[in-house]
Chain A
Amino acid sequence: GESVGLHLPTLSVQEGDNSIINCAYSNSASDYFIWYKQESGKGPQFIIDIRSNMDKRQGQRVTVLLNKTVKHLSLQIAATQPGDSAVYFCAERYTSGTYKYIFGTGTRLKVLA
């Protein structure tokens, strides 16, 4: 079951290497950002988040970098494993009357053995 279309950008990485997945966000007023992982046929799974008052946040094997100047977000996965194979997408939150989210379409990560 494809989760988001057949023509996603794909990143192929050798097992054990580091992966970097990028996301350009659209709204300069966005103040909160989330990375999700979505395996085939499953729901999106929260990985890590970052607020706009931060540039970097680290989790277990993952790091998110935020560059507000160019509206760019990246997800770094250290020592990529076969279980990391999935679609990764970012979400940005802004306020317009109420909280609103914009979700990206994602990047497919393929881990090569």
Chain B
Amino acid sequence: DAGITQSPRHKVTETGTPVTLRCHQTENHRYMYWYRQDPGHGLRLIHYSYGVKDTDKGEVSDGYSVSRSKTEDFLLTLESATSSQTSVYFCAISVKKGETQYFGPGTRLLVL
């Protein structure tokens, strides 16, 4: 998984609670991404980062925020989890902007 770890790997939470997912990379790559994967959909981009404190929204960013205070860590926060955010979340990294993305092992999140 290209030197990427995600934590937790599985989480069950209740509607309305905040949740933070962590992505950690050992590759020292500048570019990091958060995706969600749902049945019937391809991977969809939530947020991305082009460097420390440089983040932007993807196509499905509502209800999510991110932070990147260190090169190696990219955090995804669900501010108030909803059942529609039940999904598998993947972090990805790339060496160059727009180039090949390498994915982490994923976090499976269930919001009850």
Contact = CB atoms under 8 A, between A and B. Distances in A.
Interface of A: 1-7, 32, 34, 36, 41-46, 49, 89, 91, 93, 95, 98-106
A34 B42 CA distance: 13
B98 A44 contact: no
Contacts of A105: 40-42
Contacts, number: 61
A43 B40 CA distance: 17
Nearest to B6: A43
B53 interface: no
Those 4 A-B pairs whose CB atoms lie nearest each other, nearest first: A99-B98, A5-B39, A103-B42, A43-B103
B40 A104 contact: no
B104 A6 contact: no
B88 to A, nearest CB: 7
Contacts of B40: 4-5, 7, 105
B100 A46 contact: yes
Contacts of A7: 40
Given A45-B103, A99-B97, A105-B41, 12 more contacts: A4-B40, A5-B39, A6-B39, A32-B99, A41-B106, A43-B4, A43-B105, A43-B106, A46-B100, A98-B97, A100-B45, A105-B40
Contacts of A5: 38-40
B22 interface: no
Contact of B98 (A3, A6, A93): A93
B37 A4 contact: yes
A36 B44 CA distance: 15
Contacts of B4: 43
Interface in B71-112: 88, 90, 97-106, 108
B102 A46 contact: yes
Contacts of A100: 45
Contacts of B88: 1, 3
Contacts of B98: 32, 93, 95, 98-99
